[in-house]
């Protein structure tokens, strides 16, 4: 079955880092450029994230994501560059279009922020198995029920897709046209919805029973299937990030 998680199994020092530290990295990398709003800092963090993504050998997987994001950012640059109310200084003209400095600088800030946020999230998402992250959170005290719900979300969509193709096969096998023109496809799709939803409800009921008979609701403390992923420098990194954030705050306040 296909997985919807973007996680890529590789051996790298980024993969070795425990999920919680990578989770910490996200607010760290997002907050500091906000606390210290300079282009240098933003570039620094984007650079750092990109180096980590490169080191994790997952940079290729980021390309489609960035492709999509750039498409949106280009419209931001164009609109801000031309129409931002504060626009005064003309930078250049292409035909009838005039680009202003103020708008472009503002667009650049937004662009850097967005890229920075996406990079930080991507490090976590691409190098951490969702179940590892959830298990680490449960170890930290999150309720196993919530953990289970999160993990289920990662399973239910591919499961629904599999159910859909199963039912499509059942329909085609008995003479219902599902291939070809768009109209035919749509016509075939609508009667799918009922069985797919019904099917997942039945699955849910059966899964609840399966969980129940295997003691999911037991009050005893749970043990874990996987060994806890530990990383020797996780404390150092976490404390380091915290200190740097505090340093950034005091820099901002006192200097």
Stretch that binds another protein, among 30-38, 101-109, 169-177, 237-245 (CB under 8 A): 169-177
Q: Per this entry, what is the length of the chain? A: 255
Should residue 169 be labelled a site residue for another protein when binding is judged by CB under 8 A?
Answer: yes
Write down the residue that tokens 């850097």 correspond to: 112
178/245 with CB nearer another protein: 178
Stretch that binds another protein, among 37-45, 95-103, 172-180, 226-234 (CB under 8 A): 172-180
- Measure the CA dihedral 233/239/242/243, to 10°: -120
The least CB distance from residue 175 to another protein, in Å, is 3
> Per the structure block, which two tokens stand in for 203?
């699955």
The least CB distance from residue 203 to another protein, in Å, is 10
177/228 with CB nearer another protein: 177
The least CB distance from residue 210 to another protein, in Å, is 16
> Per the structure block, which two tokens stand in for 3?
């997985």
Continuous segment of H or E residues that includes residue 148: helix 144-173
User: How would you label 1-31 residue by residue, b for 16+ Cβ within 10 Å and e otherwise?
Assistant: eeeeeebbeeeeebbebbbbbbbbbbebbbe
Q: How far apart are CA 235 and CA 27, in angstroms?
A: 16
Should residue 85 be labelled a site residue for another protein when binding is judged by CB under 8 A?
Answer: no
Among 2, 60, 174, 181, which residue sits at the site for another protein (rule: CB under 8 A)? 174
Q: Which of 46, 72, 69, 63 is nearest to 8 (CA)?
A: 63
Should residue 228 be labelled a site residue for another protein when binding is judged by CB under 8 A?
Answer: no
Q: Which of 183, 178, 151, 182 is nearest to 165 (CA)?
A: 178
**Scanning residues 104 to 163, which ones bind another protein (CB under 8 A)?**
none
**Scanning residues 175 to 204, which ones bind another protein (CB under 8 A)?**
175-180, 194-195, 202
The least CB distance from residue 171 to another protein, in Å, is 7
Q: Compute CA 177 distance to the chain's CA centroid, rounded to the nearest angstrom.
A: 37
47/191 with CB nearer another protein: 191
Write down the residue that tokens 């996987």 correspond to: 226
The least CB distance from residue 158 to another protein, in Å, is 16
Among 3, 89, 152, 166, which residue sits at the site for another protein (rule: CB under 8 A)? 166
Which residues sit at the interface with another protein, rule CB under 8 A?
Answer: 166-167, 169-180, 194-195, 202
């Amino acid at each position: 079955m296909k997985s919807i998680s973007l996680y890529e199994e590789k051996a790298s020092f980024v993969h070795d880092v425990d999920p919680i530290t990578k989770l910490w990295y996200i607010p760290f990398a997002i907050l500091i450029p906000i606390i210290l709003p300079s282009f240098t800092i933003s570039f620094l963090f984007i650079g750092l994230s990109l180096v980590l993504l490169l080191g994790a050998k997952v940079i290729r997987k980021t390309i489609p994501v960035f492709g999509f994001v750039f498409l949106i950012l280009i419209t931001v640059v164009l609109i801000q560059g031309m129409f931002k109310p504060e626009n005064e200084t003309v930078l250049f003209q292409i035909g009838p279009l005039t680009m202003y400095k103020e708008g472009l600088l503002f667009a650049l800030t937004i662009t850097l922020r967005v890229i920075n946020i996406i990079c930080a999230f991507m490090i976590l998402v691409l190098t951490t198995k969702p179940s590892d992250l959830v298990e680490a959170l449960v170890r930290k005290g999150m309720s196993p029920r919530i953990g289970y719900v999160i993990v289920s979300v990662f399973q239910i969509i591919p499961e629904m897709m599999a159910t859909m193709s199963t039912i499509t096969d059942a329909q085609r096998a008995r003479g219902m046209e599902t291939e070809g023109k768009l109209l035919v496809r749509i016509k075939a799709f609508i009667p799918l919805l009922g069985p797919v939803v019904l099917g997942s409800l039945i699955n849910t009921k059966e899964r609840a029973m399966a969980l129940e008979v295997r003691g999911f609701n037991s009050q005893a403390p749970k043990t874990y299937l996987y060994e806890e992923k530990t990383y020797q420098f996780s404390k150092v990194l976490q404390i380091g990030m915290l200190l740097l954030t505090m340093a950034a705050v005091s820099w901002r306040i006192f200097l």
